[in-house]
Amino acid sequence: MIKFEFIGIFLILISIVYTFYRKRYEVALPLIIVLITSLFLLYGSYSL
Amino acid sequence: MFIHNIDPVLLSIFGMEIRYYGLVFVIGFMLIFIVLMKQREKLNLTKDDVYDYIFYLIIFTVVGARIFEILFYEPYFYFGNPIEMLKIWKGGLSFHGGLSGIILWNYIFTRKKRLNFYDTSDILVIPAAFTLFLGRIANFINGELVGKITDMWWAVKFQDYEGFRHPTQIYEALKNLFISFLLIFLRRSNLKKGTLSWLFVLLYGILRFFIEFLKEQSSFIFGIPVTQVLSGLMIAVSLYFLLRK
């Protein structure tokens, strides 16, 4: 099963590419995607 | 003395958790977004520029923070398990890396828009410092980055750590709040461009260097804790720019 976390990273990668080709009226979309993904993906500073 | 039993999970949606840490991160960047939106006409930036700036600011911050974590804090673990490098949801972000990412992106953006580097950095350093204050509160809620064992009356017993310890996350939060207020106080003064930005770097570096003496350390360079080496670098670079101006 593909985990949500990898989907999140994939969406951000698409957003980065999208920022180079998007139309003007969709300009906020990448920012909204990265903010929502960050909300679910960021857990803390310390690993292991 | 306080026993830490705060749940780091704010809420769960269809099995996906939202933690205070993620929420604080998003609030912080929203704050920076609002401040930049209010100042955008002064900087001759369009709304689109602001959206782009914040989008890449987040990317550069997280990627920079992750790269430093991998290179300076746990290189053997990550290079032995490369797939773990991607798993930011397991934690592992370095402040110094995040700052380096922000500086790099601000440099790229201001060059592209023909602005002075400090036009944006002097404005954003205040909400950024306040975001760092919130971030340290989130670290405390997570019960991570704990201090050394102490018998001070304000010591905290964290889960998974033995003994009562210095709540160094709270010390750092207070440090960041102090820096925020100082920068707010100084922002109306007639300071040269860049002074606010480098003052932030200097104060952060000095105070962080000393707080690290109270923290448990696990990564060293030539016997010196990595964080103190990086904070020392912050002090040296900021002093260079402040005295050169």
Residue B70 DSSP class: I
The mean per-residue pLDDT over the stretch B108-118 comes to 96
Indicate which of B89, B112, B165 best probes the interface with A, i.e. most A CBs within 10 Å of its own CB: B89
Q: Do B94 and A39 lie within an 8 Å CB cutoff?
A: no
Q: Which residues contact B194 (CB under 8 A, 6 or more apart)?
A: B117, B118, B121, B122, B241, B245
pLDDT of residue A48: 40
Mean pLDDT of B154-175: 96
Contact B62 A40 (CB under 8 A): no
Q: How many structural domains does chain A have?
A: 1
pTM for this prediction: 0.92
Separation between Cα atoms, residue B232 and residue B206, nearest integer Å:
8
B142 and A CB contact within 8 Å: yes
Q: What is the residue range of B21's domain?
A: 2-185
**Residue A14: which domain range?**
4-41
Q: Which residues contact residue B38 at a Cβ distance below 8 angstroms, ignoring those fewer than 6 apart?
A: none
Q: Within a domain: residue B148?
A: yes
- How far from the centroid of its chain's Cα atoms is residue B69's Cα? 13
Confirm whether A47 is domain-assigned: no
Q: Per the domain annotation, does B128 fall within a domain?
A: yes
| Average pLDDT over chain A, rounded to an integer | 78
Tell me what ipTM this predicted complex has. Answer: 0.81
Label residue A1 by pLDDT band (50, 70, 90).
Answer: very low
Most confident of B14-18, B133-137, B158-162: B133-137
Q: What is each CA distance from B18 to A46, A47, B131, B224, in whole angstroms?
A: 17, 18, 18, 35
Q: Out of B51, B91, B139, name the one closest to residue A31 (CB).
A: B51
Q: Report chain B residues whose CB lies below 8 A from the CB of A42.
A: 19, 21-22, 25, 62, 88-89, 93
Asked if residue A16 is part of any domain, the answer here is: yes
Number of domains making up chain B = 1
Q: Which of A23-37, B38-52, B165-179 has the lowest mean pLDDT?
A: A23-37
Q: Is residue A46 part of a domain?
A: no
Confirm whether A48 is domain-assigned.
Answer: no
Does residue A25 have a pLDDT over 80? no
- With respect to residue A19, please indicate whether it lies within any of the assigned structural domains: yes
The tokens describing B82, both together, are 């490369």
